[in-house]
Amino acid sequence: MGKNQDFITTSGGFWRHMWMTRRGNLIISAGLAFLAVLTSFLFHTGAVSITGILPPCLFRVVTGFRCMGCGATRSIQCFLRGDWGGSFFYNPMFFLVALLVLIFYVVFTVNALRPRYRPLCIRLKRYQIILLAVLAVAFLVVRNTPWYQAVLY
């Protein structure tokens, strides 16, 4: 086995190298930016549509309630077309998650560009995980109340 093959096949070697080095971070950052621009362009021009090809929500079929992800497909389409109001209308939680992903992407890219590079190490504390879980459950409950549905739907 050659040196490169051994590097790629060892426990996460290639991806670990991409994540842990400045060059790898810049490649990841540029690739994600390219994919975001390409996807947004394809959705904005109407060349791609994902509505109608996905199966119905199993949680909604079984319980009759909307899950946290219901409306996410339409929300993604609106978001990629630049209709942020529509994105928030269909699924406010997705809009928030997309905003957090964007913030993480900016931090990731700036970290790779700064002179004293250090790999990002993100560790959530227990209270942060509990807070996220409580917010998710609260969104699930509020989303299925009659007044929320009357306002948005």
Q: Would you kindly state where each structural domain of the chain is located, as residue ranges? A: 11-123
Quote the CA–CA distance of 15 and 24 in Å, as a whole number.
9
Q: What does the pLDDT look like over 29-69, one tens digit per residue?
A: 888 889 888 877 877 676 666 666 667 788 888 988 888 88
Q: What is the CA radius of gyration of the chain?
A: 20
Quote the CA–CA distance of 64 and 70 in Å, as a whole number.
12
Share of the chain above pLDDT 90, in %: 5
Give the best-scoring range by mean pLDDT among 33-42, 77-86, 112-121, 127-136.
127-136
pLDDT of residue 152: 56
pLDDT of residue 53: 66
Give mean pLDDT, residues 7-28.
Answer: 70
Chain position carrying tokens 């051994």 = 6
| Residues ≥6 apart with Cβ < 8 Å to 142 | 148
pLDDT of residue 8: 45
Please say if the pLDDT value at position 5 is more than 70: no
Confidence of residue 153 (pLDDT cuts 50, 70, 90): low
Indicate the average pLDDT of the chain.
79
15 versus 100: the higher-pLDDT residue is 100
Confidence of residue 7 (pLDDT cuts 50, 70, 90): very low
